[in-house]
Amino acid sequence: MMSAAVIHLRRYLAFLGLAVALGWPALALAAGTSTTAAPPPAAPPPPAPPPGFERVAGAPDTEKVDANQLVVAAYAVFFAGMFGYLIYIARKQAEMAKEMAELASRIDRVKKS
């Protein structure tokens, strides 16, 4: 009688062990976790910015600022400024040259007459 109970108990424990051994990893896998793998390490903190590039105290979050727009704006200003100045000089010189030519020819005409 006792031996039959022991046998039942052993069978039950073996079944339970088997169920745990097979079923738990499947459940864990379904839940997206693993019992064998160590928990993922915490993400390393972002490297500190070099001196002179730290966020000013109290400034709003800079993560949402689009760097592409800022760079494009800066380079657009560089080229517009430089070429704009060149165009200004060229036009000014052309105007003055025209004025000089007119004045010189008028002086010539007066002198000849």
Partner 1 sequence: MTTNLELFDQKDGLKTPPLLITLSVVAAVLMGVSAWMVFFYAPTEKVMGFVQKIFYFHVPCAWMTLWSAPLMAFGSIAYLATKKDRYDRLSDAGVELAILFGTLVMISGPLWGRKAWGVYWVWDARLTSFLVMVLTLVACKIVRAYAGPSAKTIAAGLSILAVVNALFVWVSVDLWRGTHPPKLVATLQVEMKQVFWLSVLSFHLAYFAMLWARLRMGKLRTALDRLAIKSTEAGLD
Q: Are the beta carbons of 24 and 35 closer than 8 angstroms?
A: yes
Looking at the Cβ atoms of 21 and 48, the one nearer to partner 1 is 48
**Single-letter code of the amino acid located at 92:** K
Length of the chain: 113
Residues that bind partner 1 (CB under 8 A): 46-56, 59-62, 65, 67-68, 70-71, 73-75, 77-79, 81-82, 85-86, 89-90, 92-94, 96-101, 103-108, 110-111
CB 57 to partner 1: min, Å = 9
The residue to which tokens 């005409």 are assigned: 109
Residues 81, 82, 86, 87, CA torsion sign = negative
Token digits for 24? Answer: 């738990």
What are the φ and ψ backbone dihedral angles of 82, each rounded to 5 degrees?
Answer: -65, -50
21: Cβ contacts below 8 Å, ≥ 6 apart: none
CB 83 to partner 1: min, Å = 9
CB 75 to partner 1: min, Å = 7
CB 102 to partner 1: min, Å = 10
